Amino acid sequence: MFSDEQVERYARHLVLAEIGGPGQQKLAAARVLIVGAGGIGGPAALYLAAAGVGHIRLVDADTVSLSNLQRQILFSTGDVGRPKVEVGTQRLSALNPDIEIEPVGEMLTPQAAGRLMDRCDVVIDGTDDFSTRLAINASCVEHGIPLVSGAIGRWTGQVGVVEGQPCYQCLVP
């Protein structure tokens, strides 16, 4: 069950009828793959870590640059030049030491997608290029994993959840 510290940490979830103890246990057992640790994946990772999602696999091959800092809240000035997954792992672990963060400092390619999605319950796509988005989608469809896709373009944004067919590529050919 939960330790006294965890009961205090997750108290707001535990009193909600829609979550409660069983829901918090499901969150603790959940495995989420986040592809892209920037402006979309970073905030998603922070909220999932705070909520107590038990295992977060964070995939990003990039390093923090100064131009990231005005929109990527996972990072700070002292992080410039460091790998995003390294910084992300430290921030998320500091936020919630109860969870496991698995940093993967590589790009998601069609060849690596299945391996990176192994044992994950859901995939969050926070990438900014269509070839990676389509590779993520194809692997999610192949493995039957729900996909949460988020994108921002100038002044507009979109978020969608797809599972099976129609898939992301059906919506954005």
How large is the angle between the packed helices 130-143 and 110-117, nearest 10 degrees?
50
pLDDT in tens, 145-168: 999 999 888 888 889 999 988 888
Burial class (CB in 10 A: 0-12, 13-18, 19+), 38: buried
Do 35 and 126 meet the contact criterion of CB atoms below 8 Å apart?
yes
pLDDT in tens, 22-77: 999 999 999 999 999 999 999 999 999 999 999 999 999 999 999 999 999 999 99
| Residue 137: closest CA among 146, 39, 36 | 146
pLDDT in tens, 130-143: 899 999 999 999 99
Do 66 and 20 meet the contact criterion of CB atoms below 8 Å apart?
no
Residue with tokens 């790998």: 83
Mean pLDDT of 105-116: 96
Average pLDDT, the chain: 95
